[in-house]
Structure 1
Amino acid sequence: MTNWMEIDTYAKKWIEEAGERLKVSFDEKLNIDTKTNPNDLVTNMDRETEQFFMDKITETFPNHRIFGEEGMGHDVKDLQGIVWIIDPIDGTMNFIHQQRNFAISIGIMEDGKGKIGLVYDVVHDELYHTVRGQGAFMNEKKLPPLKQGRVSETILSLNATWVTENRKIDPSILGPLVRDVRGTRSYGSAALELAFVAAGRLDAYITMRLSPWDFAGGAILIEEVGGEVSDLQGNPLDYLKGGPLFVSKPGLHKEIGENYLKDL
């Protein structure tokens, strides 16, 4: 039988160690490259942090597989067995320009089901973590179950580019939702935005495109506190391919889905 508490102990230790390494790097010169476009940035610390996890996991749990953003893990084609889905720095642009508002995200799956979720807000030293069925926490503080939400009282996290630029959707579709919610926010780190929904700091988060390592850790957290997690049509997330994502407090999925997202 899998000892999830042992795995969780190691994961929390490693994520905090990796966070310390990132903070030390603030005073060092970064090597910055681009990936798919000039704004899709990657640094030596993204790669070094992923390699750090790769080394620790393969040494301690040789039968586990790693699915990471920077491609240093295994060639994962399925989610059979235990798979660690890792984003070494979620919010690399913030890491480079602000030295804040970024996170390390880890989701640990077994046979396609989320078992452990961790999101570490490095600069604020806030570790959001859960072992499935054991409750979710921010450091040592237990997160309460999420309460029912209403659109008129919602703080929605949404990147403005999805409203102002046509990226496979008509941006005017999201306009009424932006108008009707209480307020909108954008932090530049999907992992943090998911953690903030789990903690009740945000009520919902919508995005048109994410990779599995962006959402794996945070989605497990949200489900543990009774939140709803899906794509924009209410279907389960694809932890191999990624795609659109909609997470929220209970009740908002139905209200927003029926009244605002039906034409997407």
Structure 2
Amino acid sequence: MNLSNQQLLDLASKITKKVGKKLAKKANGKVTTKFSDKHDIKLLEDEESENLIVKYLWKKSEIPILGEENHQETNFLNGKVWIVDPIDGTVNFSRGIPIASVSIALWENGQPLLGIVYDFNRDVLYSGIIGVGAFRNGKKIAVSQNQKKSDSILFTGKPVLSHLDDSVIKQWFGYFEEYRKVRMIGSASLSLCYVASGNGDVYTEDHIQIWDFAAGVTLVQAAGGKITFEKSDKNKFSYIVKATNGHIQF
């Protein structure tokens, strides 16, 4: 099955919106918890959503799939692979906080190719293809033109795999002081969409899982920004990620 990048983007957008609209009907905190610990939570809705996405993508494209809920056997560094996060911002979603998304990326040989992020609470679909452009509900978006950190908004977060001691916290807050504002919204994909849209300027996060950022960094690059991601030492899916408008230097 040989589909163009645009055809692949279209079919991924279709299932992303379908699943997102189902989730929007539950976006009031009325969810079913399957697992919970100090820093993480898994919902039945995560599992159900991923199952729908995986079934659809495999039937339509026959491309291997790396999902947040089922990822043990996938070799995501060779050839094309879908990378799926059925709910990015699960804790927000579980508490009725309207900052969550469905995200799907297509990478090839470990590099981003196209991405879709659906903000189902606001019915906003971000989509993009590297080398073509990035769009919000069909209208082209671009990164900001801010040149200085002191004029910029930094998006970040604390992933489940990170541990903060006093020295790390001191270094972290010293870094924050360079920026006008810092935002931690609980969804990496939407944070990256805001950078791609020019609403923010920089995103950085350490030890974050690939499904959390795969679509978002794709959109930043498609929108004219710069991205870097390198493997961290937590597990084979965790990365140190940076994304910027291309003017702000880390």
TM-score (norm 2): 0.88
Give the 3 Å change call, closer, same or farther, for CA 240–122 of structure 1 in structure 2.
farther
Distance apart, 1:161 and its partner CA: 9.2
**1:74 CA drift (Å):** 6.8
Q: 1:200 aligns with which of 190, 198, 208?
A: 198
**Corresponding position of 1:45:** 45
Gaps of 5+ in 2: none
Q: Is 2:9–2:114's contact at 8 Å kept on the other side of the alignment?
A: yes
Quote the Cα distance in structure 1 between the aligned partners of 2:236 and 2:173: 30
Partner residue of 2:243 out of 242, 247, 260: 247
1:221 is matched with which residue? 219
SS in 2 for 1:202: coil
Quick one: distance in 2 between partners of 1:19 and 1:242?
A: 25
C-alpha displacement of 1:78: 3.9
- Cα deviation for residue 86 of structure 1 reads 0.5
Taking structure 1 as reference, are residues 252 and 199 closer, same or farther at Cα in structure 2, changes over 3 Å only?
same
Paired residue type of 1:126: V
Report the counterpart of residue 260 of structure 1 in structure 2.
none
Output the aligned Cα RMSD: 2.6
> 1:219 corresponds to which letter in structure 2?
V
Pairing of 1:116-195 with structure 2 (within 5 A) = 116-159=114-157, 166-167=164-165, 170-195=168-193
Q: Does 1:4 align with 2:2?
A: no
Q: Secondary structure at the match of 2:26?
A: helix
In 2: Cα distance, 1:78 partner to 1:27 partner? 34
User: Identical aligned pairs, as a percentage?
Assistant: 28
1:123-178 superposed Cα distances (whole Å, 9 cap, x missing partner): 0111110022211000111013542431110111233799xx72596221122222
* Distance in 2 (alpha carbons) for counterparts of 1:126 and 1:168: 39
239-248 or 179-188: which moved more?
Answer: 239-248
132 and 158 in structure 1: CA distance in 2 versus 1, 3 angstrom threshold: closer
TM-aligned CA distance change 1:27 to 1:222, over 3 Å: closer
Mapped to 1, the partners of 2:76 and 2:40 lie a distance apart of 26
Secondary structure (helix, strand or coil) at the match of 2:25 reads helix
Alignment check: 8 A CA contact 1:107 1:114 kept: yes
Q: Which residue of 1 aligns with 2:64?
A: 65
Superposition pairs for residues 15-26 of structure 1, below 5 Å?
Answer: 15-26=16-27
Structure 1 stretch displaced more, 193-202 or 106-115: 106-115
Superposed CA deviations along residues 46-86 of structure 1, whole A, max 9, x for unmatched, are 00000001110121122x00101001x67112432220000
CA deviation map 1:193-248 (0-9, x unaligned)? 011111111111222221000000001111112212124xxx58999622222211
Counterpart contact for 1:212–1:240, Cα < 8 Å: no
2:241 maps to a residue whose letter is L
Match of 2:14 in 1: 13
Structure 1 distance, partners of 2:240, 2:207, is: 4
- Conserved in 2, the CA contact under 8 Å of 1:230 and 1:236? no
SS at match of 1:197: helix
Contact 2:66 2:76 in 1 (8 A): no
Residue aligned with 1:170, SS:
helix
The alignment partner of 2:135 has SS state of strand
- Tell me the equivalent position of 1:56: 56
TM-score, structure 1 normalization: 0.84
Distance in 1 (CA, whole Å) between partners of 2:9 and 2:166 is 39
Which residue matches 2:207? 209
Summarize deviations over 1:80-119 as a string: whole Å, max 9, x none.
Answer: 2220000000000000112410011111012222111111
The change in CA–CA distance for 1:223 and 1:28 in structure 2 (over 3 A counts) is closer
